Amino acid sequence: ATPMSIMVATGRGAQAGVLIRDAEALERFAKVDVLVVDKTGTLTEGRPSLTDIVALAGHDETRILSIAAALERGSEHPLAEAILSGAEDRDAPRIDASDFDAVTGKGVRGVVDGRTVGLGNARLMKDLGIDPGDAEARIAELQGQGKTAMLLAVDGKLAGVVAVADRIKETTSGAIKDLHDAGLRIVMATGDSQRTAEAVARDLGIDEVRAGVSPKDKADLIAALQSQGLSVAMAGDGVNDAPALAAADVGIAMGTGADVAVESAGVTLVKGDLRGIVRARVLAQATMRNIR
């Protein structure tokens, strides 16, 4: 492309809130076949809120929420915020945890009132030697509603389940439809559970889901698609998306997320609105057509 046509395209993009880093990013964008999208904060608002508390036999809902909040006070995960404001809204008495430990992609652990406690997903429970057993059906039901279920363990036994829901952004559905219509294959990649991910994907008409993936898995997924000869864009918002954004042919940062994401990306959507991807794609293809 000529420097002039690229300047015009990036200028138009900027006006629409789509920051394109350089000529290469624009050129590569025109050729993208597959878009990999993160779920939390990219498809959804990224501000989950507490919806359900399930207390297993012998346990109390308020107590469960107090313990969950004690653990999450040491975490910076968006899920932690949901638990903390949920505990506040429901006036769950404050208790404190010691020996706090955040386990990336799994949850949080610590000690409360002399008891060993943990809050997180099935993988965390496995680490703690816990089988969800009877609670499995309830967890599946919550996940089937697109909610993220977190399991609370107390002294090596499952005590309860707390669930949060994160709204899908208003603009997501239309953007996904347009990107599908433009011929892009769309794959959701998320650290969340398979069932939760599938429920959200179903609502949006996304037919490919990779759930339970770590930040490294996301980057490996990009590389695997590229090795099939595909040109891959990745859209994400968080620190955990940075490796995948860097690995992609075009990394797309939701400007509302972490700065690390923005630094690793060739394209930044200032308003965190996925429709910006549709615009950037149109601009990129028009620019490339002009030069041929």
**Stretch of residues binding ligand ADP (CB under 6 A), selected from 131-139, 185-193, 250-258, 283-291:** 185-193
Instruction: Name the phi and psi angles at 267, rounded to 5.
Output: -130, 135
105 near ligand ADP (CB under 6 A): yes
Report the sign of the C-alpha dihedral through residues 92, 94, 98, 100, in that order.
positive
Alpha carbon distance 279, 22 (integer Å): 16
Q: How many residues are recorded in the chain?
A: 292
Under DSSP, the state recorded for 94 is P
81 near Mg ion (CB under 5 A): no
Alpha carbon distance 80, 39 (integer Å): 17
Residue among 174, 206, 166, 165 nearest 189 (CA): 206
- According to CB under 6 A, which one of 172, 190, 264, 268 is a site residue for ligand ADP? 190
Q: Which of 38, 166, 237, 249 is catalytic?
A: 38
Q: In the complex with ligand ADP, which residue's Cβ is closer, 160 or 238? A: 238
Q: In the complex with Mg ion, which residue's Cβ is closer, 48 or 238? A: 238
121 near ligand ADP (CB under 6 A): yes
Query: Cβ(26)–Cβ(287) under 8 Å?
Result: yes
Alpha carbon distance 4, 129 (integer Å): 62
Q: Is 137 exposed, middle or buried (0-12, 13-18, 19+ CB in 10 A)?
A: exposed
How many Cβ atoms are within 10 Å of 239's Cβ, its own excluded?
Answer: 15
Each residue 136-155 as x (binds ligand ADP by CB under 6 A) or -, in order, gives ------------x-x-----
In which residue are the tokens 């590389």 written?
223
39: Cα separation from own chain's centroid = 4
38 is catalytic: yes
Count of residues that interact with Mg ion, criterion CB under 5 A: 5
272 near ligand ADP (CB under 6 A): no
Report the sign of the C-alpha dihedral through residues 80, 81, 85, 86, in that order.
negative
Shortest Å distance, C-beta 74 to ligand ADP: 9
- According to CB under 6 A, which one of 191, 257, 272, 276 is a site residue for ligand ADP? 191
- According to CB under 5 A, which one of 40, 75, 143, 172 is a site residue for Mg ion? 40
257 near ligand ADP (CB under 6 A): no
- According to CB under 5 A, which one of 1, 10, 34, 38 is a site residue for Mg ion? 38
Each residue 18-57 as x (binds ligand ADP by CB under 6 A) or -, in order, gives --------------------xxx-----------------
72 near Mg ion (CB under 5 A): no
**Stretch of residues binding ligand ADP (CB under 6 A), selected from 71-79, 86-94, 129-137, 152-160:** 71-79
Quickly list H helices, 56-135. Answer: 61-72, 78-89, 122-127
How many Cβ atoms are within 10 Å of 187's Cβ, its own excluded?
Answer: 20
251 near Mg ion (CB under 5 A): no
| Residues within the interface to ligand ADP (CB under 6 A) | 38-40, 72, 75, 77, 79-80, 105-108, 119-121, 148, 150, 190-192, 238, 240
Question: What residues are labeled active site?
Answer: 38
Which residue ranges make up the site for Mg ion (CB under 5 A)?
A: 38, 40-41, 237-238
